[in-house]
Structure 1
């Protein structure tokens, strides 16, 4: 896939302009978005991502189009998991509703910048060291295990890192609108707003380690990696307000992501064996009999896994709600009888 420096420059400028527009049109004036506003903009950004993928397929071929859609689906799923942690952070810091948009916007921009850096590093490593696929594959298998069994038990707002930040920085106890620092008694203090942004930036760094090896398991094209990540992050702020209540119902999201990360990890290791140059593996010769998992299968597998995880989550939470309602009814009847 040939992408000229001009196309790269236009893509980056357009991406920046989208975020600038988002800030001035929606975030600059603090307010809590309505469901209608969030739904419209979420649909717009998802539609834009799909149209862009079709454009890649038409212009560059459907092999690259399929790689984009598989990457976009994976990054979108990981971004929703990212939203879940954002929800924990924002709740932990008790950010007022009308200021949450600013926190999310800054967090998403930090995520895009960090992922951009990781994309550049990953592209350089892949181009020069084919053995990096072994490391990416092993990393994804470890991350898959942590996703499946680690969950989101710890609160990033009260973790070791944030306790260290609080010891280093003088922090006020209350919010001062959406300001990051405030002057008090001649001294400069940081507000909980800045602490929230620092915590979200730290979370973004951790999620970048997940997402970049995952998408490089689906495509070697840095342009596809960048655009899939950019579109997955666009509209994430609106999606937060649209599915905020639904996030807590996606009880099998972590397990679904674990399956996806594990699958891509295995795919990467298969690819590493197929292009092997390590002298201590098969004498430095490629294992051509090892199958290469085609992109169409990856796309179907990822889509099916997300669908099953979502459906199973909603079924589980609905069953729990019904069981709880029956138990409440039984207690009510018992109280009346006594």
Structure 2
């Protein structure tokens, strides 16, 4: 592993350490103003990292044929794609927390540990995706069709499937005992001499598996922008690092973004078409950035100007979790 990869992992580890053990040592419910402040901080870090990308690719620290300007544009485009698709993930996480009635003060803890699993699984999926695209040109068409299918599916109302029907959750409940009540912020406890999982751990596993499912859409979408593994991974991870604070902002305003789903579907469709036409259509890198930013901004603007009545998920409370 090259020094730049090791340095990036160290950078992410420092950010996570500061987040959990310094900035958020005590479990609490972030106020909207606090969540906005942290969202601004994570966004600044994500966008500011483009400066490092410029230096790294401009000085040859990364073995790549991309120029510094191309690398920055691809990074920012990938970051924007993952950040926008994370908005859809927020909707699902809000439903999971509401279903399991996760106490609001412990939700940040679940999201934090969910990030660690996301880093591991996304690294594997990104390296596998880059490997396939480098060696099999027809995989561009497979990923393109997958994105078009995902875009079509996103425009339709999904059937509500109870999280308890998730096969991973069923497996956990068969293998280990699960308590019926929360025990503070603990994922595991000892009950009559036997280690038992708490509902907080079940919610964590649900968030984790949901992130993997969403990554099946978001990673091919970023690979449609660039196949540079470092740009794909760094833009992906820095975008989801801000997902926790973004959740506490958007989960309270879900009814205000009714048309964002359409924007996300159009973004997936655009990247899917771009991948399918990769041999005949060679648009400049900045075109993707402008189109994706325009679609996302348009969806947010229409949602704010013409709010549609939607049912927002119930705010999680201190009530006992579902059995």
TM-score (norm 2): 0.86
Aligned partners of 1:188, 1:230: CA distance in 2, in Å? 32
1:264-309 C-alpha deviation (Å, 9 max, x unpaired): 00000111xx1xxxxxxxxxxxxxxx22232211111101110111
The corresponding residue for 1:105 is 112
CA distance in 2, matches of 1:20, 1:88: 28
Conserved? CA contact 2:274–2:281, under 8 Å: no
> Per the alignment, in what secondary structure is the counterpart of residue 171 of structure 1?
coil
Structure 1 segment 247-258 matched on structure 2, within 5 A? 247-258=254-265
Shift of 1:157: 2.3
8 Å contact 2:188–2:198 — kept in the other structure? yes
- Is the Cα contact below 8 Å between 1:181 and 1:194 reproduced in 2? yes
What residue is the counterpart of 2:12 in the other structure? Answer: 15
- Greater shift in the superposed pair: 43-52 or 90-99: 43-52
Task: Give the secondary structure class of the aligned counterpart of 1:32.
Answer: coil
TM-superposed CA distance for 1:241, in Å, is 1.4
Deviations 1:132-174 (A, max 9, x none): 11111111111111111144x4255233423454344422111
Pick the structure with more helix per residue. 1
Question: Helix, strand or coil for the counterpart of 1:189?
Answer: strand
Three-state SS of the structure 2 residue aligned to 1:174 is coil
Alpha carbons 1:74, 1:215 under 8 Å: kept: yes
| Equivalent in 286, 292, 295 of residue 296 of structure 1 | 286
Match of 1:114 in 2: 121
1:6 and 2:13 aligned:
no
Instruction: Provide the aligned length of Structure 1 versus Structure 2.
Output: 299
Computing the radius of gyration from Cα coordinates, the structure with the larger value is 1
| Gapped regions of structure 1 (runs ≥ 5) | 275-289, 322-338
User: Can you list the C-alpha shifts for 1:182-225, whole angstroms capped at 9, x where unaligned?
Assistant: 22334332210111011111101101111110000001111110
Q: Does 1:94 align with 2:101?
A: yes
Q: What is residue 182 of structure 1 aligned with on the other side? A: 189
Instruction: Give the gaps of 5 or more residues in structure 2.
Output: 59-66, 311-323
How many angstroms does 1:243 deviate by?
A: 2.6
1:158 to 134, 148, 164: 164
Asked if structure 2 preserves the Cα contact closer than 8 Å seen for 1:72 and 1:229, the reply is yes
Corresponding residue for residue 329 of structure 1: none
What residue in structure 2 maps to residue 280 of structure 1? none
Deviates more, 1:52-61 or 1:20-29: 52-61
**Which residue does the alignment assign to 1:308?**
298
In structure 2, the partner of 1:326 is: none
Tell me how far apart the structure 2 counterparts of residues 128 and 191 of structure 1 sit (CA, whole Å): 44
- Confirm whether residue 230 of structure 1 aligns to residue 230 of structure 2: no
Map of 1:39 onto structure 2 = 36
Structure 2: how far apart are the matches of 1:243 and 1:104?
14
Provide the aligned C-alpha RMSD in A. 2.0
Q: 1:158 to 1:49 in 2, by over 3 A?
A: same
The answer to whether the 8 A contact 1:27-1:105 is kept is no
Q: For residues 251 and 166 of structure 1, what CA distance do their matches in structure 2 show?
A: 35
CA contact (8 A) 2:255 2:309 kept: no
Return 137-146 or 32-41, whichever deviates more.
32-41
**CA distance in structure 1 between the aligned counterparts of 2:49 and 2:41, rounded to whole angstroms:** 12
Contact 1:27–1:102 (Cα < 8 Å) also in 2: no
| Aligned partner of 2:135 among 115, 128, 131 | 128
Q: Which consecutive aligned stretches of 4+ in structure 1 deviate over 4 angstroms post-superposition?
A: none
Greater mean deviation of Cα atoms: 69-78 or 291-300: 291-300
Q: Which SS does the other structure have where 2:258 is aligned?
A: coil
